[in-house]
Amino acid sequence: MAPLHGKAALVTGGSRGIGAAIAERLAHDGADVALTYNASPDRAKAVVSRVEQTGRRGSAIRADAADPAAVAAAVDQVTTEFGRVDILVNNAGIFPYGTIDEFSLENYENTMAIHVRAVFVAAQTAAKQMTDGGRIISIGSSLVERVPAPGFSLYSMSKSALVGFTKGLARDLGPHGITANVVHPGSTDTEMNPADGEGADEERELTALGRYGSANEIAATVAHLAGPSGAYITGTTITVDGGVTA
């Protein structure tokens, strides 16, 4: 039997890149999978189609991660459609790049709303109906552990907040049998950071393996945490970065 048979998952920002790979991997492992998107309905539908090709149910929900009401409503909609939410993957994100003097307060507020407040709201809403065996997994960044160049201060700060929140969440939800963890990807070949893009050679040189990771490699780690083998892992971070932080 597939390890996630009978489970229902929500992946925020699941229409492309790492989020899409996670959605498809969880479906491959037996879960019904809903995903949120903001501006890519066609891509979201394509991911849902691939989910459904595995024989699992799929759903695409339009929800702006910067809108807390929309985030909470998306979790509730999954509960209504699938009858439950067992796995929450907080993946929706943006990539603000620039030095501290280049950012406005609006840049700060938008980044924190998407990377921190949305995670808080989704986790709080999902935890209210999760049962023993529930999983909350947030996608962070290896830039939390090492910042190798200027331009990442705001991004790194927002992703760092997930670590403290997740450690506390693990303590809050542990008595209910619910785990909470963070996965920190390194340079991953996606549209946001393509392996043939500007600066890609410099990123490769920072790794011990000399290459970018694939979205499927990040998804495999998430699937491990979401499945039975991840039952005793909580309140921690797992870095999948090819050795950048070694």
For residue 179, report the phi and psi dihedrals to the nearest 5 degrees: -100, 160
Catalytic residue (one of 37, 97, 155, 232): 155
Rounded CA-CA distance 83/80 in Å is 5
CA 23 to chain centre: 10
> Distance between CA 78 and CA 80 in Å, rounded?
5
User: Distances from the Cα of 162 to the Cαs of 7, 14, 40, 175, 206, in angstroms?
Assistant: 24, 19, 26, 21, 24
Q: Is 155 annotated in the active site? A: yes
Instruction: Give first-to-last CA distance, the chain, whole Å.
Output: 37
Instruction: Answer whether 32's CB lies under 8 Å from 57's CB.
Output: yes
Residues tagged active-site: 155
